[in-house]
């Protein structure tokens, strides 16, 4: 088992942004991003950088209600971006967010999307948001995606934690359709050391979605490289493209992936 520290989350925001910037060098940013339909690479970068600046403003100013986020939701003005402009802009915003988070510390009280929270929420969320959007750009541009294993494990843990929150049924009522007798899934990373504990069980048999790190039999098991599992559950790769082995109820896996994919 492993954990990722607050300082590491802050560092990953900068590191993953810099890796994304490196993917942009000499690239055509009008290339479509298949995992983010309707966006091209330049628009993806503007969305990510806008989100980072939005989070930095929240942590810095501690508002009781969030500032507007329309500037990184409406991406129509950013259809033809220049790598020499948008790359440094992204890295600058990432450094700003990391600096604000470090100055605030993990225990301050700030507004967060899921209720009163702390800068730790934004540090972890944007470490993984940046990682996954970096992967979006890399996949669109034909660049290999490599992720430190401890970061990938933490990203999957966070994804599981957020997806299991009871209020997610309020936001996504259709997820209740996943619940039922005998509905369990097991994700098993095949390229990690045992001490990393890179195995997850998703239990859909109760009134809520539950999860745990464990090696258990399940209705369906998915085995494959850790990064591929991460990109699979995030909807960035499909079962066919992720290079994974599926054992058991493949239809249950398909239904689960369809219902719980993050944007």
For the domain that residue 183 is a member of, what is the CATH number?
A: 3.30.1050.10
Among candidate residues 100, 105, 111, 131, the one with its CA nearest the CA of residue 17: 131
Q: Given 146, 167, 196, which residue is the final one in a domain? A: 146
Give yes or no for a contact between 221 and 188, defined as CB atoms under 8 angstroms apart. yes
62 and 164 fall within a common domain: no
Same domain? For 11 and 139 the reply is: yes
Q: Residue ranges of the alpha helices (H) in 147-225?
A: 149-163, 168-171
Domain count, the chain: 2
Domain that holds residue 57: 6-146
Statement to judge: residues 203 and 253 lie in one domain: yes
Q: Are residues 247 and 163 in the same domain?
A: yes
Residues 246 and 193 in one domain: yes
d(CA 14, CA 97): 9
Are 134 and 19 spatial neighbours (Cβ–Cβ below 8 Å)? yes
- Tell whether 169 is covered by a domain: yes
Residues forming beta bridges with residue 200, ordered by sequence position: 187
Question: Could you read off the pLDDT of 32-89 as tens digits, one per residue?
Answer: 999 999 999 999 999 999 999 999 999 999 999 999 998 898 999 999 999 999 999 9
Report the C-alpha gap between 141 and 31 in whole angstroms: 7
Shared domain for 159 and 135, answered yes or no, is: no
Q: What is the pTM of this model?
A: 0.95
Per-residue pLDDT tens over the stretch 202-239: 999 999 999 999 999 999 999 999 999 999 999 999 99
Q: What pLDDT was estimated at residue 3?
A: 84
Q: How confident is the model at residue 1 (pLDDT cuts 50, 70, 90)?
A: very low
Does residue 125 share a domain with residue 234?
A: no
**Residue that finishes a domain, picked among 146, 169, 204:** 146
CA-CA distances (angstroms) from residue 45 to 80, 192, 244?
A: 12, 31, 29
Residue 48: alpha-carbon gap to chain centroid: 12
Q: Based on the domain organization, do 30 and 81 belong to the same domain?
A: yes
The angle subtended at Cα 127 by Cα 49 and Cα 160, nearest 5°, is 125
Sorting pLDDT into bands at 50, 70 and 90, what band is 263?
low
Q: How far is CA 24 from the centre of its chain?
A: 20
Strand, coil or helix: 129: helix
Average pLDDT over residues 148-168: 95
Given 146, 174, 200, which residue is the final one in a domain?
Answer: 146
Q: Do 87 and 186 sit in the same domain of this protein? A: no
Where do the H-state alpha helices sit in the chain? 6-24, 41-61, 83-104, 119-141, 149-163, 168-171, 226-233, 250-260
- Which CATH number characterizes residue 77's domain? 1.20.120.450
- Three-class SS state of 41: helix
Taking residue 245's Cβ as centre, other Cβ atoms within 10 Å add up to 12
Residue 1 lies in a domain: no
């Amino acid at each position: 088992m492993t954990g990722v520290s607050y300082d590491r989350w802050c560092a990953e925001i900068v590191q993953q942004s810099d890796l994304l910037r490196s993917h942009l060098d000499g690239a055509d940013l009008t290339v479509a991003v298949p995992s983010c339909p309707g966006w091209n690479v330049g628009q993806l970068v503007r969305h990510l950088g806008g989100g980072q600046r939005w989070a930095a403003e929240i942590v810095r100013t501690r508002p009781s209600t969030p500032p507007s986020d329309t500037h990184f939701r409406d991406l129509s003005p950013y259809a033809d971006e220049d790598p020499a402009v948008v790359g440094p802009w992204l890295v600058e915003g990432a450094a700003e967010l990391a600096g604000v988070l470090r100055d605030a510390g993990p225990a301050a009280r700030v507004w967060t999307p899921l209720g009163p929270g702390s800068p730790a929420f934004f540090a972890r969320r944007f470490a993984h948001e940046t990682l996954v959007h970096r992967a979006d750009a890399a996949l669109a541009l034909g660049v290999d995606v490599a992720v430190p294993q401890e970061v990938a494990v933490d990203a999957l843990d966070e994804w599981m934690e957020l997806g299991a929150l009871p209020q997610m049924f309020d936001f996504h009522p259709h997820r209740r359709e996943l619940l039922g007798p005998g509905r369990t899934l097991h994700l098993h990373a095949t390229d990690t050391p045992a001490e990393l504990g890179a195995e997850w069980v998703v239990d859909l048999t109760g009134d809520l979605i539950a999860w745990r790190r464990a090696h258990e039999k399940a209705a369906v098991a998915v085995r494959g490289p850790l990064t591929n599992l991460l990109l699979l559950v995030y909807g960035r790769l499909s079962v066919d493209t992720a290079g994974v082995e599926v054992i058991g109820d493949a239809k249950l896996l398909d239904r689960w992936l369809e219902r719980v994919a993050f944007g």
